[in-house]
Structure 1
Amino acid sequence: MNRLTADDLVYGYINGIFPMADADGTLYWYSPDPRAIIPIDTYRPSKSLRPVLNKKAFEIRIDHDFQEVMRGCAAPREQEKGTWISESIIQAYTDLHHLGMAHSVEAYQQGRLVGGLYGVAIGSAFFGESMFHCVSNASKVAFHALIETLRERNFKLLDTQFMNDNVRRFGAVEIPKLEYIGRLRKAVVEKNQFVESELMPVFQRVA
C-alpha cells in the first residue's frame, strides 16, 4: 500500500492502528502491544525544563504551519538512518489537517520555526505522531504546550504508540493493547475540539 488518504487515517486511528512508511515508501499499519500512552493528568515538566518555561524564550503557535512541522519531523536525523514520514504520509495528514483533525504545536524564536510536534485529535483522544527541534528545548516546550491544551480541553487519552527514551522522559507508560482499545473507544466518541475554532489558529505565549 503506497497511497494513503485522510479517510484511511481516521479509520485507522479509531481502530487502534497507524501507518508508517519504509525507506522505499511502502506503507504498513501498526498496532503495538503493549501500547505507550502519556497520562495527561500526571505529566509534570522536568526540573531542567522549568527555568526554560519561566524565561518564555519561545512563542507557541497552534496550526500556524502544519506541513512545515511535518517536514521538520521528516528531516534526516543523526541517530536514524531514514524516516518513516513519506510524501504520501505528509499529504494525507495535511489533508486531515485541512479537515480540522490533524494539528501542530509549534515553537518559534524571532518569527522562525525552531521546533514542534504534530498529531491527530478525534473526540477526546490525541494521537501524537512526531516532534522535532533545531534549537535546544523547543520540542519540549511545544510538548508542554500540548499538555496544557489537552487539559484545558478535557482530553482523556494521549497516545504515543511505542515506548522509547523520548516519550519516557515525558512520563509515558505502557498498557496492554486490550486496555488501550477500551480507553480508545470511550475517548473517540466524546464531543471535543482541540482548538476553539477549527477554522482559526490559536496563538499562545506559554514559554
Structure 2
Amino acid sequence: MPRGLTQLDDRLWFPCAADALDEPNGLLAIGGDLSPARLSLAYRSGIFPWYGQHHPILWWSPDPRCVLRPEALHISRSLQKRLKRQDLVVTLNTAFHAVVDGCAGPRRDTDDTWITTELKQSYAFLHHSGMAHSVEVWKEGQLAGGLYGISIGQLFCGESMFSAQRDCSKVAMVALCQHFQRHGGKLIDCQMQTDHLGSLGAQECPRDAFLEMLYQLRERSVTADCWVPQRIIYDRNSLENRLDP
C-alpha cells in the first residue's frame, strides 16, 4: 500500500481531500463500502470512487480538478448543426437505470468497466432518494446517449456519459448545462480532464479552489422543480452565441 494512502474501515468518514497523493494523482483512500451514506459524504467532500472490477474500492480527489461552468459551454460548428436538427428528444430522469447501463457498457477494446453491479445498486438508491439524476437523448424512441451524476445544491457532479450514436453524449451535456443554469445551477464537476470534455469548455482548476466552491455551492439550492422528470427543451436560438472561436 503506498505511503500516505488511508485504509478505510466501517466508520463513516474520509480523510481530508487535500491529503490525496500526488502520484497517482488524487488517490486518497482504499476500502470502505459503497453505501449511499458513504457516497453522499464522499461527493459532499469532493471525493469520488473509481476502480476496476475485482479490485478494492479506491477513492479519489485529483489536483487539478476538471470543471465546467454552464455559461462557459463551448459548442463546435459540427455540434451546432447536430443540435439544430429536429430528430432528437432530450429528457431528464425518465430512464436513469438505462443510462447507467449504457455508461457501464464495454468501451472500445476492453470488456472492463468501472461501474460495477454494486455501484449501480448504490446509484439507483441515490436516484430514488432524489440525489442522482440522468439526462437521456432519444432518437426514434431509442436511447441514443445520455449522462448521469449527483446533485449537491448548486453543484452537479458528473459521473459518466455515453453515446450510442454520434455526439449524443455532447447533446446531453448541452441540455444539462442549459437546464441546470436556468434552475440556479452554478458548476458541473467533471472530475478529470479529457479531450471530449475540453471540447465542451471544461477547464482545470486547482483542487483547493474547487473545494472552496464546493463548500459554498453545496449549501445553496436550485429551484424545487429542477430535477422533476421532464422533457428538456434546449434553446436552439442561443446556440450561435456559444460557438467556439
- State TM-score, norm by structure 2: 0.79
Could you say what secondary structure the match of 1:163 adopts?
Answer: coil
RMSD over aligned Cα atoms: 1.7
Q: Does 1:88 align with 2:118?
A: yes
Q: Could you report, residue by residue, the CA deviation over 1:68-97 in whole angstroms, capped at 9, with x for unpaired residues?
A: 101100100115562111111111111000
Q: Does 1:201 align with 2:225?
A: no
Equivalent position amino acid for 1:90 in 2:
K
Equivalent position amino acid for 1:88 in 2:
E
Question: Who is 1:38 aligned against?
Answer: 68
Question: Who is 1:192 aligned against?
Answer: 222
Checking the alignment, whether the CA contact within 8 Å between 2:179 and 2:232 is kept in structure 1 is: no
Whole-Å separation in 2 of the counterparts to 1:87 and 1:25: 13
Shift of 1:43: 1.0
Equivalent position amino acid for 1:50 in 2:
Q
Question: Who is 1:52 aligned against?
Answer: 82
Whole-Å separation in 2 of the counterparts to 1:176 and 1:46: 26
Matches within 5 A, 1:71-110: 71-80=101-110, 82-110=112-140
Checking the alignment, whether the CA contact within 8 Å between 1:37 and 1:158 is kept in structure 2 is: yes
Could you say what secondary structure the match of 1:90 adopts?
Answer: helix
Equivalent position amino acid for 1:12 in 2:
A
Shift of 1:155: 1.1
Could you say what secondary structure the match of 2:71 adopts?
Answer: coil
Q: Does 1:66 align with 2:96?
A: yes
Q: Could you report, residue by residue, the CA deviation over 1:91-113 in whole angstroms, capped at 9, with x for unpaired residues?
A: 11110000111100000011111
Could you say what secondary structure the match of 1:140 adopts?
Answer: helix
Could you say what secondary structure the match of 1:49 adopts?
Answer: helix
Alignment size in residue pairs: 205
Checking the alignment, whether the CA contact within 8 Å between 1:3 and 1:88 is kept in structure 2 is: no
Checking the alignment, whether the CA contact within 8 Å between 1:196 and 1:202 is kept in structure 2 is: no
Identify unmatched segments of 5+ residues in structure 1. Answer: none
Whole-Å separation in 1 of the counterparts to 2:152 and 2:37: 13
Whole-Å separation in 2 of the counterparts to 1:48 and 1:132: 18
Identify unmatched segments of 5+ residues in structure 2. Answer: 1-30, 237-245
- The structure having more radius of gyration, on CA atoms, is 2
Distance 1:184 1:79, change over 3 A: farther
Checking the alignment, whether the CA contact within 8 Å between 1:123 and 1:192 is kept in structure 2 is: yes
Whole-Å separation in 2 of the counterparts to 1:161 and 1:197: 22
Percentage of pairs with the same residue: 35
**Deviation >6 Å, runs of 4+:** none
Checking the alignment, whether the CA contact within 8 Å between 1:56 and 1:205 is kept in structure 2 is: no
Checking the alignment, whether the CA contact within 8 Å between 1:40 and 1:158 is kept in structure 2 is: yes
Match of 2:181 among 148, 151, 161: 151
Checking the alignment, whether the CA contact within 8 Å between 2:184 and 2:221 is kept in structure 1 is: no
Structure with the bigger RCO (C-alpha within 8 Å, sep 6+) is: 1
Could you say what secondary structure the match of 2:136 adopts?
Answer: strand
Checking the alignment, whether the CA contact within 8 Å between 2:180 and 2:226 is kept in structure 1 is: no
